[in-house]
Amino acid sequence: MSQQTILYDKHVQYGAKIVDFAGWDMPINYGSQIEEHKHVRADAGMFDVSHMVVLDLEGDKVVDFLKFLLANDVSKITSTSGKALYSCMLNERGGVIDDLIVYYLNDQWFRMVVNAATRDKDIAWISKQAEAFDVSVSERDTLAMIAVQGPNAIEKALSVLSDDCKQVAGALKRFVGQPCGDWFIGRTGYTGEDGFEIMVPEAEAAAFWDKLADAGVKPIGLGARDTLRLEAGMNLYGTDMDEDTSPLQAGLGWTIAMKDDREFIGREALVAEKEAGPVMKFVGLVLQGKGVLRGHQQVVTGTGEGEITSGTFSPSMGVAIAMARVPAQTTDRVQVNMRGKLVDANVVKMPFVREGQVCVEV
């Protein structure tokens, strides 16, 4: 039995095509995925991300707990109220259980957002690890979540927020979130554009969605969410990395804080991996021929084979792009096996697109 978010009726009302995503009935698009993508890059769009999981972690030792639980170091954010940190949560083998965002609210309280598809295993893992630190894990499942993204997203969202929340939201610096009554507003996102992710009590979610629509914010489906995040060079859990993938081979080395001797789950495995030297690396690809790159296509290089983890047609660039795991010695040119044909692709440093601007050579 599929679950529906509190905004399901709104999606139907706004003409969504509904698909199953991780057990949820979610909008894949409201007409054209490409138009939705371009609208976010040029103006402002909104995404229902209520299926994602909000967890509050509370306790006197919550800082120590998160320093142990996460591969990134929450010490980076504990001097700024509301500051957010992106991190992987690893198993002992150094594989990725999930990637997540955690907000520092005070020394006894962090708020975490994890993926919907990994909800059960995440909560089980976090709760198990939390016992030793006497930290409570509470799911805030009566909060809906709406991401408003695009160059005009902030202005349009501020125009429909309550006076109190407008003040809070308007003062947010990038990658910071703050509560406002029962609401919570973070200046974060998954598109490579500026904007907010807004947690709103379920009872108020549909009315807020309508207000945003009236302010000219267009509903955007999961299809465009995927092409936007891929252009932005942001990984998708379960596709670009999983429990058998090291973050070092998923382009996430920048999120691993191991310069000091902090002990965290997965550290030993990553140390061993680093000492052995890199085998594979994670790169962006831009196709030089016709067609569309797709996940699981084989990448052929002079030093061995790799695989595309995420591929798509980039609406902003007009060509196919991909994320791929390839041999560490791979240089600037590879070939992709596309339905039996080898097609050239250039290796690039991601992101492909940030804040409406193409950052790589097509």
Partner 1 sequence: MSDIPDDLKYTASHEWVKLNDDGTVSVGITEHAQELLGDIVFVETPEIETEFTAEEACCVVESVKAASDIYMPISGEVVDANGDLTDTPELINSSPYDDGWIFKIKPSNEDELEGLMDAQTYEDSIED
The residues of the shown chain that bind partner 1, judged by CB under 8 A, are 28-29, 32-34, 223, 227, 290-292, 294, 312-313, 339
Nearer to partner 1, 74 or 345 (CB): 345
Kindly write down the DSSP assignment for every residue of 124-136, as one continuous string.
HHHHHHHGGGT-E
Indicate the residue type of 34: I
Q: Least CB distance from residue 344 to partner 1, whole Å?
A: 16
Cβ 346 to partner 1 shortest distance, Å: 18
Backbone CA torsion sign across 208, 209, 214, 216: positive
* Closest distance to partner 1 from the beta carbon of 338 (Å): 8
Of 126, 1, 4, 131, the closest CA to residue 54 belongs to 126
The residue assigned the tokens 């139907």 is: 12
Using CA atoms, how far residue 63 sits from 41, 109, 178, 179, 358, in Å, is 37, 9, 18, 19, 38
- Minimum distance between the CB of residue 223 and partner 1, rounded to whole angstroms? 6
Largest CA distance in the chain: 60
Contact 321, 230 (CB under 8 A): yes
Nearer to partner 1, 121 or 290 (CB): 290
Measured from the CB atom, the residue of 291 and 304 that comes closer to partner 1 is 291
C-beta closer to partner 1: residue 110 or 190: 190
Q: Of 207, 201, 225, 182, which is closest to residue 144 (Cα–Cα)?
A: 201
Q: Tell me the closest approach of the beta carbon of residue 273 to partner 1, in angstroms.
A: 35
Could you tell me which residues are beta bridge partners of residue 196?
148
Question: Nearest distance from residue 292's CB to partner 1, in Å?
Answer: 4
- C-beta closer to partner 1: residue 85 or 222: 222
Give dist(CA 243, CA 91) in Å, integer.
7
- Smallest distance, Å, CB 198 to partner 1? 27
* Closer to partner 1 by Cβ: residue 59 or 223: 223
Radius of gyration of the chain (CA): 20
The per-residue b/e assignment along 310-326, b for 16 or more CB within 10 angstroms, e otherwise, is bbbbbbbbebbbbbbbb
Residue number with CB closer to partner 1 (28 or 252): 28
- Rounded to an integer, what distance in angstroms lies between the CA atom of residue 233 and that of residue 213? 28
What minimum distance in Å lies between the beta carbon of 47 and partner 1? 17
Residue 305 CB, shortest distance to partner 1, in Å, is 21
Nearer to partner 1 among residue 168 and residue 353 (C-beta): 353
CA distances from 26 to 16, 17, 221, 259, 296 (A): 9, 8, 8, 41, 24
Q: Give the span between the Cα atoms of 358 and 362, in whole angstroms.
A: 9
Cβ-based nearer residue to partner 1, 148 or 320: 320
3-state SS assignment for residue 324: strand
